[in-house]
Structure 1
Amino acid sequence: MRTFKVSKVDSSVGDSVNLSWTAPYFPRVGSYTIYHTDKVNRSTSIIQVYGRWGRAILKRSRYEYVSRPYNSTNITFEIRDITADDAGYYNGGFFAEDAWSDGGVVLIVHNKPSKPNIQGNLNITVNSSSELTCSSNSTTAPEYYARLHPLSYTWYVNSTRLYGETDNTLRLRVTRNHKYNQYSCTARDKLESDRSDPVRINPMYTPDTLTVSPRPPFNLNNKVSVKEGESIGPYTCTADCNPPCDISWKYKDVTNGKFFDVASTALLDSHILNRSIVLFRCLAKYSLDNDFKIIKNIDLDVLYLDEPQLVYNENAPIYSYQEVQVQEMTSLHLYCHVNGNPNPTIRLHRSVNANVIAETNGTKWLNHTINSLQCSDTDEYTCSGDSTGLPSKKIVFRINVICDLRLNSNDKVELMKGFKVGSQRTVIINVPVIAYPPPVTSHFTWIDPEGQVIKDTNIVLYPMHELYSHLITSVVLLPEVEHYGEYSVQYNGKPLTKIQITKRDNILSESERKSTLKIVTTSHDETRRDVKANGQENQNVLDLEIEKLKLENRKLHEEIQRTQLEKETLQAARNLYNAKLMLILKENKEIAPSIVGQL
């Protein structure tokens, strides 16, 4: 193998360049031919120089022979507007084989490498290695020169050069942040190529956590407090994962412990809550890993307060505004249940003044026992449940203690002045009693000191402030023969009380009689007003009381009418005293209607 010594000339496309070498001789006869051996090793005559004639024949207009004189052994010529086809080996001589002789010039024509193309697996799992390859071809001629001089490379991330990266392969440890980067490259030999189209690494990763927005208003127990019947949401659940996760919402029903689908997207619309829903759950699944899922819960604290449920003596329910009839001297057990979250404050109140007689806030049950019922326990009671931020709930009921007739020890028997009926006199006696149900006036009898029943009496029953408290007002016509001593009143044949009439009291005048009767009726009016005022605490109870009073009044009217009928049918001899009493009533017509109207 022969080794030639040649010179090298670098140029670029579009340049003009002079090529020169020294020929061993210049022929005296004939021409000196300059040859161009191209990339396929094909030699072509491009210039013929005739020294004897002093001229050069050029095969292309871009060539110009420069050497002077023409027969000079210093061969020089110019090539203008160089192209890649001009690259190759130039030499000359007298014979054709001189094209491959020693001492010529290699013209290297440089051009920009081809626009690079970046290849590699762009979908890479986070924490894995990624290799990006920048591929470009040299366009410098001749090709054998390009093969001996590989390209160098420059890498860019988001248009910023990565110093130190000159290889055609870029190796990266992939993180999540690589999704924000664009990579490009250029290739260079003498000239730099155009920049490649950018590529973006697509890092593949699962989410570390889920984010719910807006942030739920968690309380100190890391729950969202919301009243039953109110709504929660809307909320959006997001997950930082690539490719995007499949996100859905579920809720848990505490009644069966199961989860139910509520939304198949990341958006949870507004939902009205009830106490059975204990949480909403955002669930994210990763499409590349069927076994992967991540959840985020919104735990709920649903606030509610139910109507009280009341039971007495263990198994008998009490409904709102119900009247419970119980026997005196027996025990009464009350059980009030109020279901709520949180546990409500349960109170047992008595009367319209709402006196608290029992209270608890640590359980949903309040138990209260009255060991020995008294008439004085008759009253309106209320079981209430209270919870902060929720409307109070209550049940109102009444306890009526059934008790036998007896004197009211808190009041006294009162003897009032009477008036003349003909030749006889009367006395008005007020007897305060306790009884429930109310006593029947026809069951009262007055006994004189001789032990005889006084037939001619007018007895009226007035209700007092309490349901079990009554005032028995009797107008007693004394016998014509004056009897002083101990008079007694009986109920159903049993003694109730005794009263001493020891002297003749002054007889009331007509105006005094009217005043006395007005005082009695007025007292009755005030009592009824008091009953109505007390009843205003609860309209339903008031309605029941009014109906009860109406019924009692009707019974009293019927009793008066029956008594009057009996009096009219009695024999004249036995009704002497009654006739005299009727005479008095007729003489006081303006008073009699007011008495009857109050009964």
Structure 2
Amino acid sequence: VPINTTLTLQPEHPFVGDNITLTCSSTIQRWPKGYGTSHLSYQFHGNTRGATDNNELQIQKLIKSDKGTSIKCQATDDLRKVSNMSNTVTLDPFYGPENVVVEPEIRYINVTEGTTLGPIHCIAKCNPECRYNWNQNISGNFEPVKNKFISKNNQSVHMHVPTITRNQAGTYRCRVDHPVVKGRSKIKDIIVNVQSPPTKPTITLRPNNPFVGDNISLTCKSTAQRWPGNIPAHLLYQFIGNNRGEFNNNRLIMNNLTKLDKGTNITCQATDDLGKVSKISKTVILDPYYGPENVVVKPAIRSLNVTEGSALGPIHCIANCNPECQYIWKQQMTGNFHPVKNEFISNNSVHVPTITRNQSGTYRCLVDHPEANNRTKIKNISVNVQYSPKITEIWLSSNNESSGLSTPITYNFNEEVIVKMTLRIESNPDPQILFNSSLLKFKIINIKINGYIDYISNLPSLKCEDSGNYQILARNGIPYADTRTVSLKIYCKPRNATAESGTIGTKVGTEESIVLNFISFPAPNVTWLRVTSFKWTILKERYDYKHKINSKIHIRTEEDFGVYGIKICNQFGCIVENITLKPQDKPETPKNFSVETATFRSLNISWIAGFNGGHEQTFSVHYKATDDFKWDKRNVQTSNIRTGSTVYYTLDQLKPDTSYQVTVVSKNIHGQRNASLEFKTEDMPEAPQYFSVGLVTDKSVILSWIAGFNGGHQKTFSVQFKTTDDDKWDVHTVHNDRTRMGSTVYYKLDQLKPDTRYQVMVLSRNIHGHRDTSLEFKTKVEYPGKSTSKTTSISTLSIVLACGYPVLFAVIIVLLVVINRRNKSSTGGSNPTNINSTTSDEYTVIQRGNPTFTEPYSTLQSPTESTALRADSIETDTYDECGIITDIEVNQTIDNRKSGNSKDEHESGKENTKERMYANMKI
């Protein structure tokens, strides 16, 4: 067995990118001596790549991912004996230094003197761990940085200078070496610039004392140095507190100063290219000069009115200046301005405690700037000294006559006279003249002889109602207006007669009070111009010229409506006023509203028109069924309807046998009145239903029908019949008092002609008319001497069954027909054609005639489902008519009917079809 298996690596410490060789060796002995050396083969374990050559494994260009690869080997001899596992070789390729970086990753670091440099990290990748050295370029040579500025960790070396000085400026180098192999080094340089902070700047203002509207400039200055090289640093400037203006590096220019700039605090700062900011400069406070401006006098009016004897002012002169304005007051006298006496001046105000009318005039305020010449402004105010009016003379005149008044005097004027009033008044300002509180417009006349001013005005057009005492008031807004009083009496004829309404709407049977108000001086007389028993009462009101008259008119009939004239007179004239009484009321209720005639679908009504209330009236008819909610309306077309006229109207398209409510409405513009009644429509009876033929013999036939609705009145039945070739109808009255709706009525027609076609009609009649239904049939052929007890029994049985049990009658008839057919077959010699014809004829009459005989086979199979008349809808006691037909002898047999069968079938096939029978049953 192979032993001592070993694995060796060359080179011993390979780097990434190197080629390596791993050699496996083992030994073996074989006995007896002289036998040749055993041949060994080798196998490598853990290798993922590379090429083997017997006992060697070669791996090209090591990579970092080969790190940690474990490789072993074994030897196998030619007897397939395997050695033990060799030692393990674990790959760990060297590399580095690589990816050398300095953080922060910048080439130049600018730092302010006295601040901290770093930490600056030097980082690289090596296997095994890199070795780091920091050096500083001093005087052209790199020397190690002091250890106190260096710190290490597992992956990098940090340089940190807590307080840097200008002599520490320069280039710093990080050197990275491989710890095993010399000569594998890399370096990274960084340049550190140390700079002094900016000095506190100075700020200057030009001009020193600017005015509002001037342009100013502010300049900011500061310095800073940089090492190595002692180079001046580039500075940026910022002005603080400024909200407008233009910047030019260290200069701020502000154009057109305004008052809003006052109090603006402006400072500046310098910032170097390291972002270091200087201290703030001293503050420049803007305080621009201005004024005088906005010169005003308060009260803010150009003219000031002041009452004589009162105080003038204080009148304040106000302006805006910076610094404070200077003020001077002057007064215009004899065309020139002179300073106001100091006793009336207080600071910038003027105040005259007791002013007289000769102190009127213009007062002027002059405002100057204390620091500048030629900036003076002025403000004038006109002072008007006023005094209250005084009436010294007064004249009232008409027809060019005048009189001076010193005490109240009464004047009499007619309405047509124009009165002129002249007043002589002393007043400033001009007075307003009020004549009994009415503002007058006066023509001003200056009388220069004595200096008085006369005021002349025509009084407003005087009316009768203007009579009375009048106060003449002269006022101009100054206290203590002057007054005078005169008394006027104005004469006029009656006028302005007014009533509450010239037209009075009223009703017959009422009494109307007539009241008129009018103007008249002196008092008038009043008379009616229409005959009436009422008198006038004349009442004087508060004033002599105002009067009220009262009277009454009684409306007894329509003739009392109309126009009433009223004549009012005094010595100056008369007037006539008219009062019109007109009817004004809702129309009277229609009278005698009643029903003339009524049918089953219409109603004739009538009424008498009442008084129309004084306006055109219209009529309308409203109606509805009593169980309805909706009313139908029909307008009645009438013309020239007078009181007492009878109006007729027809309501049609009504429902038969229905109760209605009817209202007739009379209407005009004032309202409506109505009258009402109720009625019920009538109706004709319904046509008999299911009219059909029962048993037919040669001389008789049994008819049946079901009674319909009687139309609300008692009804009777009658049967009319004739042969088809006759024109005359025979009439039989059906005597039967049991005709309730749904009852089945049976009737026998006898004494007919054999083998003859008949038309028969049944009529249902009440007081309103009748309705009918009809059909056709044919009697049988007569066979003398052929009557047998069998046929008699069959007929009698048929009648009994028909009278007793109408529902089973059809079934029995069908059975009898079948039995008769068999009897005829048993006698021999029967014609098959005739047999079929007879069967068809009988079956047609039975099946198509009476619903009692409908569908015999269905009746046999399901008697409870009869389609004609159910047991609960047929009265079984309606066979009282059977007393009429119980003695009937049916002599017709099956044998003696053969001769007429062919013809009967031929004719019945054309006329007695199902459709024909139903058509005859229609109403």
**TMscore range, shorter length:** 0.3 to 0.5
TM-score, normalised by the number of residues in structure 2: 0.27
TM-score, normalised by the number of residues in structure 1: 0.38
Q: Which has the larger radius of gyration?
A: 2
